[in-house]
Amino acid sequence: MTCSVKEEDFQRQVIDLAHVFGWSVAHFRPAMTKHGWRTAVAGDGVGFPDCVLVKPPRLLFAELKSEKGQLSAEQYFWLQGLVKCGQEVYLWKPSEFEEITEILQSKSKQE
């Protein structure tokens, strides 16, 4: 996996990989509006992780970034809040694809 992968391409790769290993994945895609790219959210949804993955008994949240991508304050808030609630939370970059594969193959976070 090269480090020059665009975030949207990386996202597609992660979703495809998750499907190979039997995960259900939710991702809320932004759309172009007259004000630019927007993701329709209500409440405190700004910064919510890119993907929610479910494969009982596991539930995990993943924020996906390009190699140079940085978390916004809102993204950091969400990830930290989920961690404090005991959730399985990841910040993934293209260079970590091998590790992502291992995580999605395993039966639990501890394996």
Instruction: Tell me how far apart the terminal alpha carbons of the chain are, to the nearest angstrom.
Output: 24
Greater confidence (88 vs 36) lies with 88
Cβ contact 31:1 at 8 Å: no
Q: Is 32 a member of any domain?
A: no
| 111 part of a folded domain | no
Tell me what pLDDT residue 11 has: 94
More confident call, 4 vs 69: 69
Across the chain, the runs of DSSP E, i.e. the strands, are 24-26, 31-33, 36-38, 51-55, 58-64, 88-92
In this predicted structure, the answer to whether residue 12 has a pLDDT above a threshold of 70 is yes
Confidence of residue 1 (pLDDT cuts 50, 70, 90): very low
Please report whether residue 23 resides in a domain.
yes
Q: Residue 88's domain spans which residues?
A: 7-27+48-105
> What count of Cα atoms within 13 Å lies in the side-chain half-sphere of residue 63?
23
Q: Give a yes or no: residue 13 inside a domain.
A: yes
Question: What number of other Cβ atoms are within 10 A of residue 33's Cβ?
Answer: 9
Q: What is the pTM of this model?
A: 0.84
Position 65 in a domain: yes
pLDDT band at 109 (very low <50, low <70, confident <90, very high): low
- Residue 41 domain-assigned? no
- Cβ atoms within 10 Å of 14's Cβ, excluding its own: 25
How many domains in the chain?
1
The CATH number that applies at residue 18 is: 3.40.1350.10
* 54 occurs within a structural domain: yes
Q: What is the pLDDT of residue 31?
A: 66
Q: Is residue 110 part of a domain?
A: no
